Amino acid sequence: MKILITGASKGIGLATSRMLAEQGHDVVGLARTEPDDFPGLFRKIDLSKEAARKTLFAELADEHKFDGLLNNVGLVNPAPLDEITLEDFDACVDVNLRCSLQATQAVVPHMKAQRHGRIVFTSSMVVAGVPYRTSYAASKSGMVSFTRSWALELATHGITVNAVAPGPVETELFNTNNPPGSESRARYIEGIPMKRVGLPEELAAANCYFLVGQSGFTTGQTLFVDGGYMTGKSAL
């Protein structure tokens, strides 16, 4: 199978790319910075640039017939309520939601034509509510809504749509916004029954189940891979 992955240069995206390649699948990765050892075709792009990504998505959809898509690129912009700027809020919505919409629109026609496809989102446990994550949580909650709506639209075309919602994971993005010793990092870990952050490979395994695994009868679902954080809490 051929899989397109946004935000593929590090963390969950890179771990998923490597796991897919190890399983014999072809991967096309997109991100601003190219890793030294990406296990497939890599296209360098700043996905916050709407016109550039629209052009690249169209080119890739024409050149490759994608069987799966992982909408993984993400932007956080943490801030307390009274310090949120509209520019930062819009940036989160653009990268996390609008980019996912454009990427999916680019690959869905082929998936419909072949009557098979797998679309996966990287959502987040913050959909349950986390202080100082207004913009991020709103956009990640939007991914859950995309998942449900598109699952209903695309089910008769043989296309599944699911989301994986990580808890805290040892990634550059998480560590930058929640450095060791920080109050926010301690708050996250305190709320996790396993009392640790996850590994990128643990999220990659969930992504691979939805992208290439025996998940053909599963659609519209959000799987929380979070060390038990969401257990007993209300999901959207």
- Return the active site residues: 136
Number of Cβ within a 10 Å radius of residue 221: 16
Number of Cβ within a 10 Å radius of residue 149: 12
Q: What are phi and psi of 114, to 5 degrees?
A: -90, -5
Assess contact for 72 and 122: CB atoms under 8 A.
yes
| Cα–Cα distance measured from residue 8 to residue 15, given in angstroms and rounded to the nearest whole number | 8
| Cα–Cα distance measured from residue 172 to residue 178, given in angstroms and rounded to the nearest whole number | 10
Per DSSP, the residues of 35-74 read -TT-SSEEEE--TT-HHHHHHHHHHHHHH---SEEEE---
| Cα–Cα distance measured from residue 232 to residue 218, given in angstroms and rounded to the nearest whole number | 22
Largest CA distance in the chain: 51
Closest CA to 139 of 188, 98, 81: 98
Residue 99 one-letter amino acid = C
